[in-house]
Structure 1
């Protein structure tokens, strides 16, 4: 499902509340739209089940997902962990309440899923990580995410120290955000293009032919979307997305808005 780094900052710490850089990796044949507004929620959506890997709302709520299940294109038409980001944004539950209710209500139905989900409310300064590490076992971890720089891995969850790619991204991301000034958008977009979604040594971009888990034929699998997010303490939100469609044509979108209390 890709790779992700983010900084979650306390009130009064710098200009920015949340800074995020995320790659989505999947089979290129899977039809996923670019980011767009659906009522008060901004996200891309998969045509098969209307699920998403990243969503943010005008109410100041955000959710992002890494999943081993989605890497191998193991999805269900009307269910799946990729439906949880929008469910959280549509709810009025706190991140902790949402996590506890989700596990209590759906825990036994999640056989075959493996994922790490972050849900956060900017207005209450609350961020929670929900992790189901084992596809075959109904074991869950719920943890409050402390302020600081973090990575999220589909294989190792929050702050992996065993995956070299996650460690490398954390280092590069930390260097990048330390130089963000009063006009951060150009630096964010440059990092996204240079380090996340362009081929080359040391980048996070992937592109390879692998055997599809269902059809068993060789299919192109790799980075199909890069999302950069900046939420300022002033409640200004900047979203930059670079994604490629099923014809491998890259497109870019930018969104600017203010979230409410």
Structure 2
């Protein structure tokens, strides 16, 4: 269960900016932010089990990110959702063309929210296969601030409202100045405030939803320790410079440690 807040085509300096927390079982193998395969074509973290990603970008201006859709039932043998951002980043299809392709195969996945964008053409598309799994759909993302949690885009969950308000206040505070990427992550993505019981969406039992209602998650589920494994920020400047920052939990250390990495590159001209 993850959360992302982003601004699209609505800032004088940043055509796109996203902050994202990835929540996952501590036991699930994960690789931190890096260029994949050493070829410097796809940049992002990597799921060591499914082989996909939750947030990634490319040198030619493609960006994709994903959250799960909270639901009760799951498919017996689904495809891994993390492959969807990766497939877009590997393809040459426009966001709309790719969305049309995903919709045709969306029934093979558990609930997901997928956003794919092409900075070079200023196009962003939202693809989702819930709440009606038999009628997946997609739509263009409008300019402005959006929050993507574990319901549909901009669903009014209390957690999402807190995220939006904090993000709006930060954007207003800095105005047209450069945004401090590390400080943004520390200030906005470490919030451990949880919902009151009446605020919970009520999709799953209270004892499961309550610990997941914080922006930064730390809990124990029947499957083991679970929580925020990484916090990321991806900024695209109007001069086509991209900064990708990730703060991640290194579970290979004893005791576990938080580390970070930042990569900057320019989008290739087409």
Answer yes or no: same fold by TM over 0.5.
yes
Alignment correspondent of 1:49: 50
Alignment match, 2:217: 206
Name the structure 1 match of 2:248.
Answer: 243
Alpha-carbon displacement from aligned partner over 1:22-71 (angstroms, at most 9, x marks no partner): 1011111111111100231101111112111000000100000001479x
Q: 1:231 — aligned with what?
A: 236
Match of 2:24 in 1: 26
1:138 is aligned, of 134, 141, 161, to 134
Q: Distance in 2 between matches of 1:14 and 1:57?
A: 23
TM-score of the aligned structures, taking structure 1 as reference length: 0.85
**Residue 182 of structure 2 corresponds to residue 183 of structure 1:** no
What is the aligned-residue RMSD (CA, Å)?
A: 2.6
How many corresponding residue pairs?
Answer: 244
State the Cα distance separating 1:97 from its structure 2 match. 0.5
The equivalent of 1:257 in structure 2 is 265
After TM superposition, the score normalised by the length of structure 2 is 0.83
> Equivalents in 1 of 2:50, 2:74: separation in Å?
12
Unaligned stretches of 5+ residues in structure 1:
213-218
Equivalent positions of 1:1-261 (< 5 A) are: 1-9=1-9, 13-38=11-36, 39=39, 40-68=41-69, 79-104=79-104, 106-110=105-109, 113-134=110-131, 137-154=133-150, 156-161=151-156, 163-180=157-174, 181-184=176-179, 186=180, 188-197=181-190, 199=192, 204-212=215-223, 219-247=224-252, 248-261=256-269
Alpha-carbon distance between aligned partners in 1 of 2:35 and 2:125, rounded to the nearest angstrom: 24
Give 5+ residue unaligned stretches, structure 2: 196-213
SS at match of 2:60: coil
Deviations 1:174-203 (A, max 9, x none): 11122334432x3x3112113313656897
Distance 1:29 1:197, change over 3 A: farther
